[in-house]
C-alpha cells in the first residue's frame, strides 16, 4: 500500500494528517505493540496511545486487556466524557474483562488540556479499579494519563503498588 501526502509548508504536520493516515498509524503501532513479547513499559504503551488520543476534545477512557503473558488481546474505548471529566464504572470494566478472559488490564485516558497531572478523581477511580481487579484476580498493571506529548503513569509513580497494598482483597486466605 502506498500513501501519498502533499504537505503544506508552514502548517504543523499534526494538522495535515488525514483520518485515514491516522488510522493506519494507530493500527501499525498496535500491531507493533502486540508483536512484542509483552508490555514492558509505560513508554511503549504511551507511544501507541498518543497517536490515537492526543487530539481528542473530550476525555476518553480506554482499557487494554492482556493475557497471562501480558500480551495485548484487545483495546477498548469504554467511556467518553466531557472536556474535563469522564464517568468510569468499575463494574462495567470488570464485566468486559471477565468476558474477554483477561488476566491483566492497563487503563488510559486523555486530558484534553494537555496536562497529564492526575486529579483527585483520577486517583480515586484508579484505586477503586485496582481493588476491583484484586477481588476478581485481574491484575491492574498501570493507568496512563495522556497529555500533550507527555504522560503520567500510576505504575511508574508507585501509586499502583500503593493501591495494591492498601486493598483488602489482595491477600489469600
Above 90 in pLDDT, residue 105?
yes
Task: Give a yes or no: residue 122 inside a domain.
Answer: yes
Asked whether the CA dihedral 55, 72, 97, 105 is positive or negative, the reply is: negative
Confidence of residue 24 (pLDDT cuts 50, 70, 90): low
* Reported confidence tier of residue 141, pLDDT bands at 50, 70, 90: very high
Cα–Cα–Cα angle for 173, 164, 63, nearest 5°? 115
7 is a domain residue: no
**Strands of the 151-153 sheet, one edge to the other:** 72-80, 60-66, 104-110, 139-146, 151-153
Distance between CA 7 and CA 169 in Å, rounded?
Answer: 54
Q: How high is the pLDDT of residue 103?
A: 97
Q: In the prediction, which pLDDT does 19 show? A: 66
Whether residue 89 is predicted with pLDDT greater than 70 in this model: the reply is: yes
Full residue range of the structural domain in which residue 113 is found? 13-166
Is 30 within a domain? Answer: yes
Contacts of residue 68, Cβ cutoff 8 Å, sequence gap at least 6: 103, 104
Q: Find cell 488510522 and name the residue.
A: 23
* Verdict on whether the full-model pTM lies above 0.95: no
pLDDT tens track for 35-73: 554 667 899 888 888 877 877 888 999 999 999 988 888
Look at residue 57 and tell me if it is in a domain.
yes
Identify the pLDDT of residue 6.
57
The tens digit of pLDDT for each residue in 65-81 reads 999 988 888 889 888 87
Q: Residue 110 falls within a domain, yes or no?
A: yes
Domain tally, the chain: 1
> Which CATH number is 154's domain given?
3.40.140.10
Q: What is the chain's mean pLDDT, rounded?
A: 82
Instruction: Tell me if 24 is assigned to some domain.
Output: yes
Taking alpha carbons only, the member of 121, 129, 123 closest to residue 154 is 123
pLDDT of residue 139: 96
The answer, yes or no, to whether residue 170 has pLDDT greater than 50, is no
171, part of any domain: no
Amino acid at each position: 500500500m502506498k500513501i501519498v501526502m502533499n504537505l503544506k509548508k508552514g502548517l504543523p504536520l499534526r494538522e495535515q494528517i488525514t483520518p485515514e493516515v491516522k488510522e493506519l498509524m494507530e493500527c501499525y503501532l498496535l500491531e507493533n505493540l502486540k508483536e512484542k513479547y509483552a508490555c514492558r513499559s509505560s513508554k511503549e504503551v504511551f507511544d501507541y496511545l498518543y497517536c490515537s488520543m492526543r487530539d481528542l476534545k473530550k476525555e476518553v477512557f480506554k482499557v487494554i486487556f492482556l493475557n497471562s503473558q501480558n500480551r495485548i488481546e484487545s483495546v477498548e474505548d469504554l467511556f467518553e466524557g466531557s472536556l474535563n471529566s469522564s464517568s468510569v464504572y468499575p463494574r462495567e470494566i470488570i464485566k468486559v474483562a471477565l468476558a474477554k478472559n483477561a488476566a491483566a488490564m492497563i487503563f488510559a485516558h486523555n486530558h484534553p488540556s494537555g496536562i497529564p497531572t492526575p486529579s483527585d478523581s483520577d486517583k480515586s477511580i484508579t484505586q477503586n479499579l485496582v481493588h476491583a481487579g484484586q477481588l476478581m484476580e485481574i491484575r491492574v498493571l498501570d493507568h496512563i494519563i495522556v497529555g500533550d506529548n507527555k504522560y503520567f503513569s500510576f505504575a511508574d509513580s508507585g501509586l499502583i503498588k500503593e493501591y495494591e497494598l492498601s486493598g483488602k482483597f489482595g491477600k489469600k486466605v
